[in-house]
Structure 1
Amino acid sequence: MTWAVVVSVLVMTVLSLLRVNVVMAILAAGITGGIMSGLSLTDSVDLLVSGMGGQANTALSYVLLGAFAVTISYSGITSILVNKLITLLKGKRVMLLFVIAGVASLSQNVVPVHIAFIPILIPPLLTLFDEMKIDRRGVAAALTFGLKAPYVMFPVGFGLIFHETIQDAMVGNGAIISLGEITKAMIIPGIGMVVGLLIAILFTYRKPRALDLAEGEKEATSYLPKQEAFQTSHIFTLIAIALALMVQLWTKNLIIGALTGIVAMFAFRVVPFRKGDKVMSEGITMMGTIAFVMLIASGYAHVIQETGAVNALVEQTSSLLGNNPYVISFVLLVVGLIITMGIGSSFGTIPILAALYVPICMAAGFSPVATATLIGTAGALGDAGSPASDSTLGPTSGLNADGKHNHIWDTCVPTFLHYNIPLFLFGWIAANVL
């Protein structure tokens, strides 16, 4: 049972690297974990299916955010943004990647649509990427940075939810800590992500990367946006976005925030009421695959939790840690990386990690801030590089609109290298100096 988590994550990783569909890879990992924990094949599948509801809230949020993004696109305001980007940044590869990272960062707080903006904003830029010979792996790195770094570092929007999740989980396990201390704990790991972004854009993916445009060029050209003049409907669209943000911050509920935005777009007549079915259908088409992957990932997480495989792994490793804080923090981050790479959800992993980490860290003499650093960093590690993470599935959904971007090799592997490695190193250092 001790090795059930490790082997199942390896199964998922290897199958994904071999280009097996991510849903099939996660299913295989879940079944492997169940069987290695002593369950039968049937019981493993039943346990996986019973746990799929754990991410139902997230899945519904993504579908509604997708519908909200469709209504925003329907208004034409995204065409204005894309055309402005093309006018100002054509030929400026490095600057364009930094702007994309900045826009992605705003999706976590100012315009709280999370990954739903990517299938709207990125496909119209694919032709520009090809003309400028931009390495799409660099675009994936920029997008993933924007989806992760803001919530890791700052308690605003999704970041407030993430920091409160860490606080609640730690308090529930006997460690008292304030939100301000959690922000302090996550600054250094966040700086690691900034370093990873700079290396990705300025060094690794700065050189031109030409793709074979013979087959895909015409298909990509069809994504070019039409010219739009700023109109009253765009003002109402901005108001709807502001309302969605305020309601989401007030209720701390993505579903209610997304519903508010959608209702406002119909109430302001930006989108005709008769287009309701089409908006929802396109929203499901846009985000449905990601939502379903998140459900399967939740089922996998349920298997490795309910079988006791996670506890067995931590207990086995903790018994070998000794008293050296550098060794303890290093091993805890390795264990966290394994767990979160499999689950793929930083928010959903935090309660699991806190229940395991807090007793170990308290016994080893770590401060609450250092403990929060280990928990937050270990949770964030699962959101980059994992095939089941929304922070990798989102970038792929936009970059692969013309079929020329591979989810594993062009998104997961680059983001793992550029963010998990610096996150691990900076988190390890922070845990031993705070």
Structure 2
Amino acid sequence: MEWIVVVSVLVLTILSLLRVNVIIAIIAAALTAGLMAGLSVVESIETLVAGMGGQANTALSYILLGAFAVAISYTGITSILVNYLIRVLTGKKTMMVLAIAGVACLSQNLVPVHIAFIPILIPPLLKLFDSMKLDRRAVAAALTFGLKAPYVMIPAGFGLIFHGIIVDGMEQNGAGSITTGETALAMLIPGSGMIVGLLIAVFFTYRKDREAVPGAGGTEASFISPNSEKVAFNKKHMLTIVAIVAALVVQIVTGNLIAGALTGLVLMFLFIAVPFNRGDSIVTEGIGMMGTIAFVMLVASGYGNILTETGAVDALVEVTSGFLGDNKPLIAFVLLLVGLVVTIGIGSSFGTIPIIAALYVPICMAAGFSPLAIAALIGTAGALGDAGSPASDSTLGPTSGLNADGKHNHIWDTCVPTFIHFNIPLFIFGWVAAIIL
């Protein structure tokens, strides 16, 4: 039973590396886990479908955020940002990549649109990337960093949800009371590993010139191209900023992404920043931009349901905990390794933390880990599932923008680079945090 998770994730990884569609790969991995657990094909499929509701809230929020991002783009305010980047950073590859990482960071806390900005901001810059011979793998690393590091380290915006889930998971499993401020403190060390990984990717690994290869990514991704004409800042853009701020405030107050996205979208129409008669097309374009990613997350949630319902994850942790004794460094290392195997297959840090918390807390408390150390282990294990996973929105999002012209491969140009530069340092720094906290 304990080998089900390992074999299933290997199936997912191998199929993904062979460039099999990520949805097909997840379904194949899920069926593998179900069949190994003694379920029939039909039972496996039913369990998969039953678990898809686990990410329904997130999937709906992403679609609404996609519509919100399209509405923002319609006003032309993104064109101002794109034109500014082109004017100021043309010929400055390193600064371009770091600026993109900075913009991506804002999407997690200040402007809570998460990955919805990528298919709007990145495609207009692709020709510039090619003329500069900029390695798109560096851009993928920058985008993934911006999508992950802020919520890992800062308890605001998406980070407030992330750290809130850690707190809830620890309290529900008997680890005592802990605040989001304390979990943020615990995650500073693992988060610092991501900073190191970004700097290595930008200044060393992908610094050399690279020619984009037509057709490398297969089918072109659809995207919304902002107005290429020069746009001056006006009243409509100011009202758009007001809508963005309102969406952020509502999201923080309610802790609900759907409420925040709806607030921003409704205000865009009330302010007439976007004409009311454009409502259908705005929502349709938002679904077109984010629908695939939302569906991948739904299927990944179903996959996670099969792993948990069959008891495969519990069996894996029981076996690993049985021979660890009270050696804290070894326990932390093995738990993170188990977390990496489990979460990279599911691809959602937010979705896997409750599972990880239920498994980690009893083991860590028995071994005498401090609450901060337990928080660091749970948060790091969750974050490992986002970087490098074929099913993660933190990799699917960058690919959706970088592959708009069919020159960027999801696995080899996004997942592999982000796994190397973020999962490895996250693992090391998270392990150190668990030992010293």
Quickly name the TM-score band, shorter chain normalised: over 0.9
1:134 is matched by which residue type in structure 2? L
Quote how far apart the aligned CAs of 1:199 are. Answer: 0.2
Partner residue, 1:377: 380
What are the equivalent positions in structure 2 for 1:33-112 lying under 5 Å apart?
Answer: 33-112=33-112
Partner residue, 1:180: 181
2:4 is matched by which residue type in structure 1? A
Quote how far apart the aligned CAs of 1:212 are. Answer: 4.0
2:205 is matched by which residue type in structure 1? T
Q: Which of 223, 228, 249 is the matching residue for 2:231?
A: 228
What are the equivalent positions in structure 2 for 1:188-203 lying under 5 Å apart?
Answer: 188-203=189-204
Quote how far apart the aligned CAs of 1:230 are. Answer: 1.4
Quote how far apart the aligned CAs of 1:197 are. Answer: 0.4
SS at match of 1:108: helix
2: CA distance between counterparts of 1:188 and 1:214?
40
Partner residue, 1:299: 302
Relative to structure 1, the CA distance from residue 223 to residue 274 in structure 2 (aligned partners, 3 Å threshold; closer, same or farther) is closer
Q: In the alignment, does 2:434 pair up with 1:431?
A: yes
More displaced 10-residue stretch of structure 1: 90-99 or 171-180 = 171-180
SS at match of 2:408: coil
Partner residue, 1:206: 207
Quote how far apart the aligned CAs of 1:154 are. Answer: 1.0
Quote how far apart the aligned CAs of 1:178 are. Answer: 2.2
1: CA distance between counterparts of 2:320 and 2:228?
54
1:407 is matched by which residue type in structure 2? H
2: CA distance between counterparts of 1:256 and 1:160?
15
Quote how far apart the aligned CAs of 1:296 are. Answer: 0.3
CA contact (8 A) 1:127 1:224 kept: no
1:233-265 CA-partner distances (Å, limit 9, x unpaired): 111111111111111111111001000111111
Quote how far apart the aligned CAs of 1:324 are. Answer: 1.1
Quote how far apart the aligned CAs of 1:38 are. Answer: 1.0
1: CA distance between counterparts of 2:179 and 2:76?
43
2:365 is matched by which residue type in structure 1? M
SS at match of 1:387: coil
Quote how far apart the aligned CAs of 1:229 are. Answer: 1.4
Partner residue, 2:424: 421
1:279-334 CA-partner distances (Å, limit 9, x unpaired): 01100000000000000001000100111110011001111212211111000000
CA contact (8 A) 1:125 1:224 kept: no
CA contact (8 A) 2:120 2:226 kept: no
1:127-164 CA-partner distances (Å, limit 9, x unpaired): 11011011000000000000000011111111111111
SS at match of 1:279: helix
1: CA distance between counterparts of 2:273 and 2:377?
46
2: CA distance between counterparts of 1:212 and 1:137?
13
SS at match of 1:404: coil
Partner residue, 1:151: 151
Partner residue, 1:25: 25
CA contact (8 A) 1:237 1:265 kept: yes
Quote how far apart the aligned CAs of 1:224 are. Answer: 7.7
Q: In the alignment, does 2:309 pair up with 1:329?
A: no
Partner residue, 2:353: 350
Relative to structure 1, the CA distance from residue 267 to residue 224 in structure 2 (aligned partners, 3 Å threshold; closer, same or farther) is closer
In the alignment of these two chains, the number of paired residues is 431
1: CA distance between counterparts of 2:269 and 2:215?
41
CA contact (8 A) 2:54 2:298 kept: yes
Relative to structure 1, the CA distance from residue 309 to residue 228 in structure 2 (aligned partners, 3 Å threshold; closer, same or farther) is same
Aligned sequence identity (%):
71
1:211 is matched by which residue type in structure 2? A
CA contact (8 A) 2:214 2:406 kept: no
Quote how far apart the aligned CAs of 1:361 are. Answer: 0.5
Quote how far apart the aligned CAs of 1:37 are. Answer: 0.9
Q: Which of 402, 406, 423 is the matching residue for 1:403?
A: 406
1: CA distance between counterparts of 2:158 and 2:325?
36
CA contact (8 A) 2:398 2:414 kept: yes
Partner residue, 1:286: 289
- Structure 2 residue runs without a partner (length 5+): none
Quote how far apart the aligned CAs of 1:231 are. Answer: 1.6
- Normalised TM-score (structure 2): 0.97
CA contact (8 A) 1:124 1:224 kept: no
Quote how far apart the aligned CAs of 1:13 are. Answer: 0.3
Q: Which of 246, 249, 253 is the matching residue for 1:250?
A: 253
2: CA distance between counterparts of 1:26 and 1:128?
35
1:22 is matched by which residue type in structure 2? V
Relative to structure 1, the CA distance from residue 215 to residue 150 in structure 2 (aligned partners, 3 Å threshold; closer, same or farther) is closer
2:102 is matched by which residue type in structure 1? G
1:47 is matched by which residue type in structure 2? T
Partner residue, 1:308: 311
SS at match of 2:210: coil
More displaced 10-residue stretch of structure 1: 180-189 or 55-64 = 180-189
- Structure 1 residue runs without a partner (length 5+): none
CA contact (8 A) 1:82 1:124 kept: yes
Partner residue, 2:344: 341
CA contact (8 A) 1:123 1:223 kept: no
Quote how far apart the aligned CAs of 1:223 are. Answer: 7.3
2:152 is matched by which residue type in structure 1? V
